[in-house]
Structure 1
Amino acid sequence: MAFNQAQENNTGTAIASMNGDVQQIEVYGAREHNLKNVSLTLPRYKLVVFTGISGSGKSSLAFDTIYAEGQRRYMETFSAYARSFMGGLERPDVDKIEGLSPVISIEQKTTSRNPRSTVGTITEIYDFMRLLWARTAEAFSYETGEKMVRQSDEQIVNFVLDNFNEKRLVILAPVVKGRKGHYRELFQQILKMGFLRARIDGELVEITPKMQVDRYKIHDIEIVIDKIVVKEEDRYRLSSSIQNALTHGKGTTLILDVDADKTHFFSRHLMDPATGIAYDDPAPNSFSFNSPYGACPVCNGLGEIQEISEESIIPDKNLSIRRGGIAPLGEYRDIWIFKQIEALFKHFKVSVATPLKDLPAEVMKVLLYGLEEDLEVNTKKGNYIIEFEGIVNFLKGQMESDSEGIRAWIEDYTQTTTCPECNGYRLKKESLHFKIDGKNIGEISVLDIKKLATWFNNLEDRISERQNVIAKELLKEIRKRIGFLLDVGLDYLSLHRPVRTLSGGESQRIRLATQIGTQLVGVLYIMDEPSIGLHQRDNERLINALKELRDLGNSIIVVEHDKDMILQSDYVVDIGPGAGIHGGNVVTAGTPEEMMNAGTTTADFLSNRRGIQVPRVKRTGTGEILRLSGATGNNLKNVTLEIPLGKMVCVTGVSGSGKSSLIHDTLYPILNTYFFRAKREPLPYKKIEGLEKIDKVIEVDQSPIGRTPRSNPATYTGVFTDIRTLFAQLPEAKIRGYTPGRFSFNVKGGRCEACQGAGMRTIEMNFLPDVYVPCEVCKGKRYNRETLEVRFKGKSITDVLDMTVEQAVDFFESQPRILRRIQTLFEVGLGYVTLGQQATTLSGGEAQRVKLATELSKKDTGQTLYILDEPTTGLHFQDIEHLTEVLHKLTNKGNTVLIIEHNLDLIKIADHIIDIGPEGGDAGGTIVAQGTPEEVAATGLGYTSRFLKEELSTSHYIE
């Protein structure tokens, strides 16, 4: 048991010195997960960092103990009635925690997958902007671009008297504008109201009781309210008629000048006098893409639509329809749609055996998009009608199918494109024609945060005095929140950016900026590696933001590996000394200065007594180059990327510089399509050369290895198949006739049927949250008794799943096939993870290392391109040391390892660096420098070179 008394730091806030205020958080006997009865005292109102190697127990102490207890106590403040709706929280395995404040957790795993959630909505900046546009924006016509006007009833009457004196006018109330229908009921209703005449499609007619119009044509219908010769003495009659017309026309009236045969438009609402287009009065939800009042009707506020791709429907134009030229239909067979196509082709005098490339353009258009009108065909057997909607329209109709299988089938022939109606702005066209300083809300939302801040600065000087009065407080709030985003290094994002496209670090920093904006005091914030995805240049701003949150009067605990964060904190807790069962103790705790003098692994790395060794001689590679030319997607500026093959290559640059656009969104989709015929479209580029020099591409990202508790490292790596085969070959299993399937918890036979192999049972509580309890039949073991009786070295299949990777390496040392896969998990620093650990509990970095281990365990050809996205995420210095050994091993076989990375420990050991920048957003998108780490450091170009030069000057070189 380690017990550490927190020491008072001179950087404390005024809040910390208040009389009677509790100055410490005291944890007694924490035993959650691998924690070994830890007792610890932490200072309040300080920035406290928990560090230690991966799996040592940092998150167990910070999140599963301190945060969990804070949440439980908060729930206990609710009434019993309120708690009954929320379910209870179990008390964490800890004796006592004293001095605990209300707790807010800011983790990486809580990123919203909702396509409607954007940076603007979760920071609430967009909500303030909606209110600003609703109250101060000026409306313009989407037809003429002219400013819209609004008139009172009296203004309309005065205008008519001044401009149409002694003229014959017909006062009309529009009731139908540009819609199909027969409108029989409408005409009957008009007669009941006492009106006898109407203007239909520009023609004045008498209304009859049985009157109707062509239901398939588009109509404009106006009620004739009055016919009048304008005179001053008839003001009352004119006023009554105009008010009547405005009432029936829902705020709009048309006045026909009979002599000039010209129609004039008037409206109580915003209106274009030239065309008669009227807008409803704007409200905040008029600018919301999550509201039917503001969302674009074509894309429903998503900004993108699923389009059927002609290229995917017809992948090979050399084929005929008979030979399967239309991919969704396959080869010709005796079904309805092929008979339709054959009859159609017979009319056009072409054959279904003709290659599609040789068909006339007119026939191809009809084949894909259908007939404009039904076709009447004359035959010896008589006349018949061909109705053909076209392959594209047929597939579009299937997109709305209730069948999940059909929708999945259609997805193979669709691609996501920007909505042509709203151009990706998500809003209906009326909403996009309300402008402030000449800009609509969509144009402002797509600006990066840096440009957004510039646009909002001094906006008062560019708008009218009336707008200024209304906007003053709103602008103050908007600027403040934009400032918080700038403070945490997110100046390259835009409010329009969907949250689901953000990295874990980015979404966490957004939540951090939002919390700073709330101005709460006396709160304990617990954060999970907020520096992930940040370049060293931006790290300082993040640290300052955390200190600002602290100085408001809050306590902050950060689980972190970043060197700068550790050194600038007020107090450091190092947990370890090892991972899993070898961890769970507080190794040392104190100020960063005290920490540096301790003899721990972390202290050795921080003080540079130990470091990752840099090879002085770089690999020469194969001499071949993979060249991508003319990449222009997102902020890329006609980039030509040259990747030397057979080397470890690092792509670096500040956040938002264009690394992901170049590698993940351009290069990888090109390679994936070439090798595996994937459907994802790359961002625009001109050409790619050198594809024949590699034989496959493997991307190892941080997405989960599975989204259900049934997925785990053993199943993902495939080692569980070998383990099940081993158990099936045991004498006991053979006697009983057990196959490998008997040892699977996903199929019937050997699993516990009470919980269907989940180990937990879900108890539905009707309107209360579901409760998960260990299965009372198998006691959480997943298998039935007969299966568990089969043992290898005294261990059942459940015992094996409960083993850590480190334990499994020793246990399976005599099984080379199994050992090879488990050994790679151990080599990438996952020795503390159990083979059966649920995929949903793995961090992004852990999931990535499981994938990396899976690829390492495969036999490679030495010509593979591996793409890794920040593999150091969640890794301690010592773990990075192990990871570099694995990456060296992979590259030494002749493979090319391409890594997007910010961590200098990994960047400095690369053979080749490609630095993108110089800034984020529009100021990035170019290759600033490239070459060996030493060459890039010597250029002095960009931000990476400066930090890299400093890092190399203190590094340990090996020959």
Structure 2
Amino acid sequence: DPLLFAFNSKIGACPTCNGLGKIEGVICPQCKGTRYKKEVFSYKINGLSLPELCDLSIDKIKEFIEKLDLKGKEKILAEGLIPEIISRLECLIDLGLSYLTLSRSADTLSAGEAKRVRISAEIGSNLTGVAYILDEPTIGLHPKDNAKLIKVLKSLRDKGNTIIVVEHDEDTILSSDFVVDLGPGGGKKGGEIVFAGPTKELLKCENSETAKALKNKERKKIKSLKRKPKKFLILKGVCKRNLKNIDVLFPLKALTVVVGVSGSGKSTLVCEVLYENLKNLLAKKEIFSEELKEIKGYEDIKRVYLVDHSPIGNTPRSTPSTYISVFTDIRQAFSQTLLAKQRGFKEGRFSFNTPEGQCPYCKGQGYNKIEIKFLPQVYQVCEYCNGKRYNPEVLEIYLRGKNIADILEMDFAEAREFFKNHPLIYKKLDTVCKIGLNYLTLGQPSPTLSGGEAQRIKLAKEFVKSSKGSTLFLLDEPTTGLHINDVEKLVNVLQGLIEKGNTIIVIEHNLELIKYADWIIELGPEGGEKGGEILFQGPIDEFLKVNTPTSEVLKKFLIH
């Protein structure tokens, strides 16, 4: 029965874990994480059972399938299947995913990997007349693999499909047939079509910020401050997952960029080994000895902070202004107005999360949830407060012609101008604007922010409060969703944190950020089992003298 070889069916699934491979987060003792019942292991082709085959990397599986020498009935049965299997595996390899195993759980894939797996499924389907919409497919992709992705997208186009891509990547933009450029700014200053036409005409457009960035020759230069590090954080004998017993040096009070092809071990090194073990050491706990031998030179670090893509808040009651604590200062300013003092309104009255201040009908949400049986939930703007979130008494208090609801509807750029005479408020708003998020509104619900926006808001909060220094910041692809021009704004904030005595370590593929690095660490040479080695670690000047996958791409970028 074919269902015996499917862990999603009762026939093939391990009876202990029901085909999940884990029980409450612990690997299933019965199937050892393979998800299958033991009978499945009895059926083998060339000495390998299906679970054992799926544990190999995609390129090794392709090699295995190609070497099959089937005879008689088996050959007849496999005739139509083998070319289809090889075709689909080649799609995954072409998209730079050769290092993945087929047994890997989908929830452990990065956003970029998951997106490329979905693309490969579509390519293999041979459909025509389909409109594919892709949102930043180059996220998590090494620049040398961009050409592979573009080739795959063009092959989809040539089959008679329409490909619409939202993208900031220079190569992808210039490889397209038609460009629609929206702007001229972000948020309220955007929403207009600045340019729409053939790609070769884009560079002639005078009003397009994208065209200006693409033509800017100054971009193609090394912008590193070339700090000379005196002290290092040293990791010795790192051997988790595919990392091969490596010794790594991270300079303190400098900008270090960790580069390498997808799957080479960057996130494992920085977000798992370095972060988790250093966090343990700072909390006076033991390091995980099976992952590394020792950590040296951490005495000058007081705190380690991982700035990831996780949301800054999971409810609409959380907003960017509450997260960076500027809304507390704004409420304080309203409580100091004459009418607020006369009525005895304290700072808490100007919060939409308190019963005294919020609209009694929508409880400060600004909308009401309407539940209709058998239909999705519908949200309707509150008729009582018209989405303002507050009760009428609070909305009667004005600060220079604006009430608290008007302030929440401002974007950060407008609010910065409005509060320019309030130094504390201005400083916080200005930091968010400098990091390229001036288009966000103060009252925008946190769950609506993208991963990249959430990451930059976290950075802004740290920049505002971090005056002591001695913090190690770890960032995983912070340029996600950033326009070419905005990368410089992000780097300026990172450099500001370093000037305050902090250390920055960034995992990044974007050459626009790599060119600012003081120190570069490259892992490789490939992904998966073929990765996990140090190809280079040292200053950026030395990096340009060696030949590695990333240095080759960076050198080409600088020449052009």
TM range, normalised to the smaller chain? over 0.9
Residue equivalent to 1:556: 163
Within the alignment, does 1:582 sit opposite 2:169 as a pair?
Answer: no
Contact 2:316/2:446 (8 A) holds in 1: yes
Match of 2:262 among 652, 655, 665: 655
Within the alignment, does 1:606 sit opposite 2:214 as a pair?
Answer: yes
Within the alignment, does 1:635 sit opposite 2:242 as a pair?
Answer: yes
**Superposition map of 1:480-879 within 5 A:** 480-599=87-206, 600-611=208-219, 614-615=222-223, 618-621=226-229, 623-675=230-282, 684-879=291-486
Change over 3 Å in CA distance of 1:747–1:419 after alignment to 2: same
How far apart are 1:678 and its partner, in Å? 9.3
Residue equivalent to 2:498: 891
Residue equivalent to 1:19: none
Residue equivalent to 1:455: 64
Q: Partners in 1 of 2:151 and 2:368 — Cα distance?
A: 46
Within the alignment, does 1:425 sit opposite 2:34 as a pair?
Answer: yes
**Superposition map of 1:92-131 within 5 A:** none
Secondary structure at 1:765 match in 2? coil
Residue equivalent to 2:51: 442
Change over 3 Å in CA distance of 1:817–1:579 after alignment to 2: same
**Superposition map of 1:366-405 within 5 A:** none
Q: Partners in 2 of 1:606 and 1:951 — Cα distance?
A: 12
Q: Partners in 1 of 2:387 and 2:342 — Cα distance?
A: 27
Residue equivalent to 1:85: none
Change over 3 Å in CA distance of 1:665–1:617 after alignment to 2: closer
Secondary structure at 1:913 match in 2? strand
TM-score, length basis structure 2: 0.95
**Superposition map of 1:198-347 within 5 A:** 283-306=1-24
Amino acid at match of 1:718: S
Change over 3 Å in CA distance of 1:709–1:471 after alignment to 2: farther
Secondary structure at 1:430 match in 2? helix
Secondary structure at 1:837 match in 2? coil
How far apart are 1:919 and its partner, in Å? 0.7
Q: Partners in 1 of 2:190 and 2:371 — Cα distance?
A: 37
Amino acid at match of 1:720: F
Q: Partners in 2 of 1:892 and 1:419 — Cα distance?
A: 49
Secondary structure at 2:536 match in 1? strand
Q: Partners in 2 of 1:559 and 1:678 — Cα distance?
A: 45
Secondary structure at 2:79 match in 1? helix
How far apart are 1:521 and its partner, in Å? 1.5
Contact 2:226/2:540 (8 A) holds in 1: no
Contact 2:235/2:248 (8 A) holds in 1: yes
Q: Partners in 1 of 2:428 and 2:285 — Cα distance?
A: 28
Q: Partners in 2 of 1:923 and 1:818 — Cα distance?
A: 51
Residue equivalent to 1:943: 549
Amino acid at match of 1:902: H
Amino acid at match of 2:234: R
Change over 3 Å in CA distance of 1:865–1:518 after alignment to 2: same
Change over 3 Å in CA distance of 1:709–1:888 after alignment to 2: same
Larger RCO, structure (CA 8 Å, separation 6 or more): 2
Identity across aligned pairs (percent)? 49
Q: Partners in 2 of 1:544 and 1:801 — Cα distance?
A: 45
Question: For structure 2, which runs of at least 5 residues remain unmatched after alignment?
Answer: none
Secondary structure at 1:939 match in 2? coil
TM-score, length basis structure 1: 0.56
Change over 3 Å in CA distance of 1:616–1:845 after alignment to 2: closer
Amino acid at match of 2:311: P
Change over 3 Å in CA distance of 1:500–1:821 after alignment to 2: farther
Change over 3 Å in CA distance of 1:793–1:680 after alignment to 2: farther
Secondary structure at 2:305 match in 1? strand
Q: Partners in 2 of 1:758 and 1:900 — Cα distance?
A: 37
Amino acid at match of 2:31: C
Deviations 1:434-453 (A, max 9, x none): 32222122222222222222
Match of 1:926 among 533, 541, 545: 533
Contact 1:651/1:900 (8 A) holds in 2: yes
Contact 1:934/1:949 (8 A) holds in 2: no
Change over 3 Å in CA distance of 1:428–1:721 after alignment to 2: farther
How far apart are 1:915 and its partner, in Å? 0.5
Q: Partners in 1 of 2:428 and 2:224 — Cα distance?
A: 32
Match of 2:509 among 886, 902, 918: 902
Q: Partners in 2 of 1:612 and 1:803 — Cα distance?
A: 36
Q: Partners in 2 of 1:560 and 1:876 — Cα distance?
A: 9
How far apart are 1:635 and its partner, in Å? 0.8
Contact 2:224/2:515 (8 A) holds in 1: no
How far apart are 1:676 and its partner, in Å? 5.0
Amino acid at match of 1:288: A
Give me the CA root mean square deviation: 2.1
Q: Partners in 1 of 2:263 and 2:36 — Cα distance?
A: 26
Q: Partners in 2 of 1:470 and 1:873 — Cα distance?
A: 46
Change over 3 Å in CA distance of 1:677–1:574 after alignment to 2: farther
How far apart are 1:652 and its partner, in Å? 0.2
Q: Partners in 1 of 2:160 and 2:106 — Cα distance?
A: 30
How far apart are 1:649 and its partner, in Å? 0.3
Amino acid at match of 1:443: E
Deviations 1:129-149 (A, max 9, x none): xxxxxxxxxxxxxxxxxxxxx
Amino acid at match of 1:730: T
Secondary structure at 1:938 match in 2? coil
Residue equivalent to 1:476: 83
Change over 3 Å in CA distance of 1:792–1:605 after alignment to 2: same
Contact 1:665/1:682 (8 A) holds in 2: no
**Superposition map of 1:169-208 within 5 A:** none
Contact 1:632/1:685 (8 A) holds in 2: yes
Contact 1:624/1:645 (8 A) holds in 2: yes
How far apart are 1:698 and its partner, in Å? 1.1
Amino acid at match of 2:550: T
Amino acid at match of 2:40: S
Question: For structure 1, which runs of at least 5 residues remain unmatched after alignment?
Answer: 1-282, 307-415, 955-959
Q: Partners in 2 of 1:539 and 1:690 — Cα distance?
A: 37
Secondary structure at 2:219 match in 1? coil
Residue equivalent to 2:558: 952
